Amino acid sequence: MARIAAIGEVMVELSPYPTAQEETREIMALSYAGDTYNTSVYMSRLGLETHYVTRLGDDPYSEQIIQRMHDEGIGTDMIERVAGRSPGLYIIRNTPDGEREFFYWRREAPARELFSEPNESVRLYNQLQEFNAVYLSGITLAIMTDTARQSLFDALAKLRGKGVKVIFDSNYRPRLWNTAKDAQNAMQAMLKHTDIALLTLDDEQLLWGDDSIEGCKKRYQALSELVLKRGAEETVLIVDGEEQRVPVPKVDNVIDTTGAGDTFNAGYLAARLDGASAEAAAANGTRCARVVIQHRGGVIEKTLFEAGING
């Protein structure tokens, strides 16, 4: 069985409680989420041996996050606990037109210090070289300092030299970067150390002003494996210069698209690291995402996910 380690941040999530609302106060439901964390949950559910790399505090909410990972079968040996600290927080607010707004409190989150200490960087590198693959995202890069990011890149370069595959989802969130140029530079540097890029065409438009497939092919021509997710449109695969299109069947009862891309990534990687073709892996990713978007939340109940996958 392939072993994969995901690097990133898990945050406390507060969202409107669906059945309880008072005139004088909002009733919120508490959960935990984060893009690479969401993907890790689904990779583990799909049978991929999954471990998580982050920093958490010593507070009750950090403890609950660790317990959630244990419950999902995710390895936590590479999580650093920092005394006196706590994870970041975000609140989801529903607007009158049915859209959702996100408000973040994460500046003091210990995950922002990943790869910032030389001893920790060496320790993580030594642990990561025992894996088949490492997975991270543009959000992982965005929360790091420039120095920590370079330490990460150095580690990834050495890991690839030892045969570890590096998998990257750009997941561009403008508010996490000082400027779009900073994000562009970091993404370009990261893609030099990437074996499989799982990108979203909407993010490409947002970051580069280019939503064409041809533009992406030109920009990332050095990549050996490129996956372009396009929502309800067919997925584009470019593997060793050969392009393929994988259909995305229509879903009539879409409830919530939160986490669809994260879930696609999980399905793709679970199949691809098990030896499936890129085309079969993309079909599996689509199948997993279809289940999630028919329920509310980025991480749905395990029984719902398994029923949807097996149904």
- Name the residues annotated as catalytic: 262
Exposed, middle or buried by CB within 10 Å (0-12, 13-18, 19+), for 282? Answer: buried
Using alpha carbons, select from 21, 18, 50, 15 the residue that is nearest to residue 33: 15
Angle of helix 260-272 relative to helix 35-45, nearest 10 degrees, comes to 50
- Report how far residue 257's alpha carbon sits from residue 118's, in angstroms, rounded to the nearest whole number: 39
Using alpha carbons, select from 69, 141, 68, 70 the residue that is nearest to residue 111: 141
Q: How many helices (H) and strands (E) does the chain have?
A: 11, 13
Exposed, middle or buried by CB within 10 Å (0-12, 13-18, 19+), for 23? Answer: exposed
